[in-house]
Structure 1
Amino acid sequence: MSEAPRLKRVLRRLAEGVVTRFRNDSRRWAQMLDGLDPEIFVALLDPRGLVLEANATALRLAGLPRERLIGQPVWEAPWTLDLPASRLQWRQLVQRAAAGDSVREDLQIRLPDGQVRTVDLHLRAEPDRRGRPRYLIPSARDVTEERQNRDALSEHLRRHRFHLGNTSMAVIEWDARLRIRDWSASAEAMFGWTRAEALDRSASELGLLAESERGNRQRWLRDLYSANEILSPVLCRCRRRDGSELLVETHRSLLRDGAGQIVSLLSFSQDVSAREQSLRDLRASEARYHGVFDQATVGVALLDAQGRWLQVNRSLCKIVGYDEAELLRLDFQSITHPEDLAKDVDLANRVLAGEIPGYQMEKRYLRRDGSLVWVLLHVGRIDATAELPVCFVSVIEDISARKAAERRLQALQISLEKQVGERTQQLRLSATASEQRNVELAQVAETTGLLAGARDVDEAMRIVGRSCRTLFPLADAALYLATEAPDRLQLREHWGNGPRPAENLLADHCWGLRRGHEHRVEEPGDPLRCRHHGGGEDGDDRAHSCLPLMALGERLGLLSLSWRAGAGWAPDPVLLRSLAEQIGLAIGNVRLREELRRQAQHDPLTGLLNRRQLDEHLRQRGGEYQRSGRGCSLLLLDLDYFKTINDRFGHEAGDRVLQEAAALFRRCARVEEAVFRLGGEEFVMVLATEDPGEAERAAERIRAEMQTLRVSRRGQILPAVTVSIGIACLPGDSPDVHKLVNLADEALYAAKHGGRNRAQRYDRLSRPPELPQARRS
């Protein structure tokens, strides 16, 4: 006989015994179970899982009368009879509940009509007096639709997160209060905030908008309550987490519920900073071009062979103090200082004679009011044509400031050496007071030495910051330097634990700058506090000291310190003033050296390197040739008939031609090649090749491009200007790099006498006869 029927009979007899044992309780359990929520399946099991009682809902799900269900194992009931996994799950749950666990799991059952449903099953044991399980009570609720909705929601959220994580635009979802509800991976990359950090925060809390855009939140709110689903795109300046700014273009759309209320706002943003920067750079480039075209910043003049002024510009009139009509009635000899006249006339005669193409010299002019002005004079010759005689073109640069700077530098160096010696002696004498003072004096002396060797102002600022942090460790300090605006100073260095000082400082806001010496405030209620230290309505109770930085009576900046009043520490006034003096002298020295270095290396008209830099460049080329055997080629370029431009159109037009020609030569040069201006209309280009053929091709290309160059001045197209080029190669023409200029000059001379507008390589041609000496001018 099969074991299954026998097991069923045994279980049924056991169930009948249990039912008999609990006959009195059965009616009570049935009434109690049927009184529960009809949507909930409830039953009563013995510890082995046999059904003792079930409510009407359970009987309906089983599709059996009560008599047939009672006594069966719960996993043998019709609702799981053909679902093996559910039957096994039932058995395991009964075993766990009988062991004392309260279990809750989803379970699949089959209804009498064949539907498979999911129920939330909760199974627990009812213990007897000894704590052993007396009954097992299962209860279940149909959660099929609920689980389907949960799965659908999970799939929707998964797709939503996929789109947020993979779109290239920064996608942000905002609620109706403009607080962040969702934040895409591209938003993390663009703004620097992670999704966890951004959620449920506003744009102001994250600092997403730049200071100039803080009013946009109200505009966004107005758009929210006045627009439809799609809002117009906006362009605003935002800020990343690290404080850097970016320009963002944002497209927005609204999501409303059935009642028309706003549910959320979606914004799609992209970084357009590079695009806007390109537009700004283009506009700035155009503005610079028109500024150079419309106004020369140096004096420009055209003179005849006798030295009479033929045409002058406004800058020259401003330099010499004459108006244009007065200056045109004079010659250059009448306003030149007598000590400089002989040298100027001699050089002018050599230019007229063709011995030199032009010259450059420093000289003095007598201004209309009798004062002297130092100028740097560049003179070139414009050859005679059928219409115009030979004349000169002069570029005059006012170097009075440089000359004064040289005098101040010399005086400053003497004063600095004297003051350094005096101050060092004073500090050494006072060093015996304490060991701390010794350390401070050593630090000041070291700072003085470092400042004397500083290459530029930025390096001097770093030296000052390093020293002040050591000397005044308990103070917050800021170092301001004067700008071109006489009443405004700019922050260059600050240190300490306090907030960052203002970037700009008005001189009127500081008592130290107004008084010209140290201004110290140590009382919290002092009415003479500086405004940049809380001297306004919102007072600051910290003590402070402001020391102007001076050199030769000129105000260069401000050293400002603040510290906690009453803390038992304050900076030593003597040490502080000493350091301020050293800083002022050092900054003045560095600034003068920087200005002299810049003026000494570049041609002021064209911006090209000057003759001195050419000598240094050739020296480096010669050294490279000695080390590696790599030669070079030198092109000497001279504009043809340049004097005609000055004669016909004036010095301003000639200046414009020189600038355009210089720009063309720079464009034709490669990165490793250099272009220089020797003077007048003569230029030098050093090529990074020793091949004569390649050098000739490069010269021919420059000549062809120069022939097509068109320069306009005030809407007028000037005549084309050609160029003659002399070529010399190292080592093909000479192994001595310093002879290349002379060899190229001979080749240029041959090109000029060969008809101009040509390139000629040096081939030891004999020089043509000297031109007759021009009339002295």
Structure 2
Amino acid sequence: MSQSPTSASDAAEALREMAEQRHRLEMIIEGTAAGTWEWNIPGGQMRVNERWAEIVGYTREELAPITPETFFRLVHPDDLAQSNALLSAHLEGRSPHYDSLCRMRHKQGHWIWVQDRGRVYERDAQGHPLWMAGAHADVTDLQQARQDAANMRQRLQAVVDASDEVAVIATDVDGVVNLFNTGAQKLLGYRPEEVIGRVNPGLFHDPDEMRSYLQPQMDAEGRMPTIFEALTAHAAQGTWSHQWTFLRKDGERRQVRLSISPLDGAGGSRIGYVGMAVDLTPLLQVREQAFVAAEKFAGAFSSAALGMALVSLEGRWLDVNDSLCGILGYTRAELLQIDFQTLTHPDDLHTDLALLGDLLAGRREHYHMEKRYLGKAGNLVWGRLSVSLVRTENGEPLHFVSQIQDVTAQRLSGQQLRESEQRTRVTLDAVADMVLTLDLHGGIQYANAAATRALAGEGAEALAGSQLQEVMELTTEYAPRSPLDVAVLLDPDSNAVDLHSDLLLSVSAHLLPVDLTRAWLCDEQGQVSGAVWVIRDVTQQRARQREARHLAEIDPLTELSNRRGFEAHLQQAITRVARTGQSASLMYIDLDHFKPVNDTHGHLAGDAVLWAVASVLRHGVRDSDIVARLGGDEFAVILAGCSLKRARRIASDLLEAMRGLSIPWDQRRLSVGASIGIAPLFGGMSVDDAVAAADAQCYRAKAMGRDNVQVEAQALGAVDPLDALDASESGE
């Protein structure tokens, strides 16, 4: 039966419209720069447009034949499982469409972010998917922008949190807290999770204080504004500050200066408020303490057992207490008519005036001396004088404050002092620690019996009169052949001793671990004139410390270095590379199919496998190399003086040895494989960067089928002299 002309015309018109629609659809797709794909699910074939291939840097011909495996091969291993789960959910009808954000490897080797969307558009009679189509787009720039925004938020939060002396609290327009920095935590005692999104800042105000403040603002209907409404009303047009009482979580009251400012969005609309509170409590306490101190000084001045005086800059007595009058034998009225120079013994006046000159010039803050005064009865009074200078707020000298203790009786008790010194020497000779008294040039003025025995030998004569550097030498465990400079150790302004917790004392050709404690001796003018050293033998203490450090850095199962010890050794290796320029490599090892061993045979079997692998690694490298178990089934090896090429050969040998492992367990033989990644160490890189570089190569080994070695490609071109030697010896 022939077709009528009208039917043929209609069919042609329909085909033409379909072609135009398809052309328009293709133009729209091309205009969006999206890659399209179509998947015959039962047959496993896929059709993609040229843009799909361009996004990952290929042509369609380079990717042919294109199948789902093409997509799986390009997707980042970390994203593949999630993408497959989303795809399965859609294919099984549990989600209306497939939508996945994942990373795909570009032909040039870098990763790009792709938004992949699709939907099944045809199913068979049983509901099984037949055809699916979708598109994916390069959203790398969008992801980077999101990351930059997140980083910016983190930096802003860090800036706010760094201001821990200022409490910063932000709210939305309804008064709900949405920012609570570390300063607010410190001031109020709440954790952010207790406050943010939960409370109104009115919680922090003293209820009684706010009730009195809000009472006058009550309206005709008897309604008072809330604390938030009242305070933000003042800040509607700009910053408003006021002093308030805040209540901490523990009930303690704090006085604060609170400044409230409005927060407006980009369009000018009000989005909230920010309050900044400075704790005034310490300042108010200082003021209170200053007032109390002034009262106490007035009371102490008049009732002190010591003689006290306020002296003008010219030396006249401005005020004296009763004790000073009693010491010198004058009445208060008599002393206020004369100056201290008149009552000072002529032999002591020059020194006293010189020290006063140092005070006025700012060369010292106070001074002490013993001097003689002329009493009213003609008697000689020995006084221990302490003088300080009071200045105005601008730093201008105001007057002197003098304290005078009558030490006449002490000056006459020399015999008692000598007896006291004798008792001190006997006591020090009974002490096991070495005690030395030194002048600032290293001269030994006194050495107790323990010091004499240790430094000069049993039965030796006293060391007094010897030079310190002639009888002893101090070094450190870090540099045992580099003696410490005695002049630096005897400098009161030096902290050389404080910086060393690893001092060694050279005694009789061997090094003794010691601790050194210093105390400084001052002369009558307050100047440092010498030092007392106490040296203690800490051999057993250091040994216990070393044992504790060793236990802290060893994995108890494999007896390899643990992560803590590994990181310390890795930092040393990086520092050595920076200093010497010598090659070094880091090997990262992740066992393959280890989890089934634990799941099937138990953790004791897993421990046996880990011990066997540790043994292979330990015996497969040099004694100078560091082998560590980082945790679980992850190991690392630090190869000092080893280039990547040599490291790859070592790794291949280790891999071959592990392939041959056969561990007997419960009438079975257990085996395990490994994936190894290797990266070079560079001077200046961080420990985290080094581990990440080697871990990335291990990841690559996993992605390429496991049981192989991957090395950072861009570093393989470097030539190491040891490689050349190996090549010549092996005929390479």
Larger relative contact order (C-alpha < 8 A, sep ≥ 6)? Answer: 1
Quick check: which has more Rg, 1 or 2? 1
Q: TM-score, normalised by structure 1?
A: 0.30
- The alignment's TM-score, normalised by the length of structure 2, stands at 0.31
